[in-house]
Amino acid sequence: MAAKNKRQNLIRELLSERSVSSYGQMIRALRSRGIAATEATLSRDFAELGVVRAATADGPRYALSEAEAGLHIDRLLGFEILDVRSNESLVVIHTLAGRAQGVARYIEQLNRKEIIGTIGGFCTVLLVPASRRDIKTIVTLIQKIRNSH
């Protein structure tokens, strides 16, 4: 699984820094960075990452679809969130080591009125609800994200 994640992260990076018009071009770019991939593997990666073929002034190019990329982030967050707990006033989210700040940032970007803010540590996110009445809604939201994988 680590090799797949490394390859897919590199694909995202390559698509953000250069124009890619064919599988062959992407395979060569990956190979230049020490990653071997076949067209079949690349096809699966593109599908999982939400890579689409878009028309540009220079002809068709591969790019990350913003909508599909958002779904991919949701799926990744599902893996990163390990547990959600709450008491009468706060929600605590336990994450994989080193992922709390990324999870906190994602939650903040949801701009939910029920959430005042988050604090991301190393493997724990402290989430401050707008009201105690919002805690159940927030926990349900986080569990939904967690189960999206």
**Tokens 């062959």 correspond to what residue?**
24
Residues 58 and 110 occupy one common structural domain: no
pLDDT of 9: 85
| Pair (142, 74) in one structural domain | yes
The per-residue pLDDT for 126 is 97
29 and 77 belong to one structural domain: no
**CB burial class (10 A; 0-12, 13-18, 19+) of residue 18?**
exposed
| Same domain (yes/no): 38, 77 | no
What CATH number corresponds to the domain at position 86? 3.30.1360.40
Same domain for 82 and 99?
yes
Evaluate whether 27 touches 37 at the Cβ level (below 8 Å): yes
Residue 18: which domain range? 2-64
pLDDT attached to residue 73 = 58
For residue 52, the cross-strand partners are 63
Res 109: pLDDT:
80
Q: What is the mean pLDDT of each run of 10 residues along the chain (149 residues)?
A: 82 86 93 93 84 82 66 66 95 91 86 94 96 96 82
Specify the pLDDT at position 49.
81
The domain tally of the chain equals: 2
